[in-house]
Structure 1
């Protein structure tokens, strides 16, 4: 059954700085992988109609969706509104039908009194991703983002 997961965080940095971390591949690799995962892009084109392929690697085998230690995602940029939001259509590369379907990820920034309110919305989350694990992963990525841009 499709579901929507959401997360948000107030970040003590200007919206332009936070938004820049959404569309630069080096910056994304610094904050997006949750926990102690690492990532690499095979290609990256951050514009409406562009795409990327990202491999996230777990430190321990046994939890990956694509291989025992990795998740591979193919994503398309559905909408890129500079300084406002990035909307992506994300597909997991997996033989497991529990990860089938296209998840729509929306990352948005808005000015707040003490910095930037970042909102993440994931629509059509695959059934194979537990709500609890996804909440932990989203919170971890937001904490990484805050640590990355709050200088």
Structure 2
């Protein structure tokens, strides 16, 4: 059954700074991996139809199972929409033999200027069944916290 997950946070930085962190490979490696993971961007072409590939590696793989290997998740994505300063959307596929992670999930990052900074809303549609709602909520919240620390330090 298709599922939609959401998360949001206000970040004390202008939308342009937040947007820049969403489309820069070095920035993504710093903030996108949730707590307990490290990221490496292999490809990034931030334009509609462009590609995005990242390897996420667990710092301590004990007790967890990666989607692509014992200790990692490989994410292939295609940019669907790019609106500088306001929206980034990409369709994500996990490289996995597990049918629980099959299909394409769309991640949309909407940026809205508010008092005190930028409200960042993440909407994930068609979330694979293998990603539990609790784990996804924790991961998205962790990424938003990392993003805030990254852009607020300026």
Q: Structure 1 length as normaliser, TM-score?
A: 0.98
Shift of residue 36, structure 1, vs aligned partner: 2.1
User: Could you tell me how far apart the structure 1 residues matched to 2:43 and 2:52 are?
Assistant: 5
Q: List 4+ stretches of structure 1 deviating above 4 A.
A: none
Alignment of 1:101 onto 2:106: no
Note the residue ranges of structure 1 that are not aligned, 5 or more in a row. Answer: none
Q: Which moved more, 1:7-16 or 1:52-61?
A: 52-61
Deviations 1:118-146 (A, max 9, x none): 00000000000000000000000000000
Shift of residue 60, structure 1, vs aligned partner: 2.2
CA contact (8 A) 2:28 2:41 kept: no
Note the residue ranges of structure 2 that are not aligned, 5 or more in a row. Answer: none
Deviations 1:7-36 (A, max 9, x none): 000000111111110000111111000002
Residue of structure 2 in register with 1:119 after alignment = 121
Residue of structure 1 in register with 2:38 after alignment = 38
Residue of structure 2 in register with 1:140 after alignment = 142
Q: How many residues align?
A: 151
Residue of structure 2 in register with 1:13 after alignment = 13
**SS of match in other structure, 2:8:** strand
CA RMSD of aligned residues (A): 0.7
Shift of residue 108, structure 1, vs aligned partner: 1.0
CA contact (8 A) 2:80 2:91 kept: yes
Alignment of 1:87 onto 2:89: yes
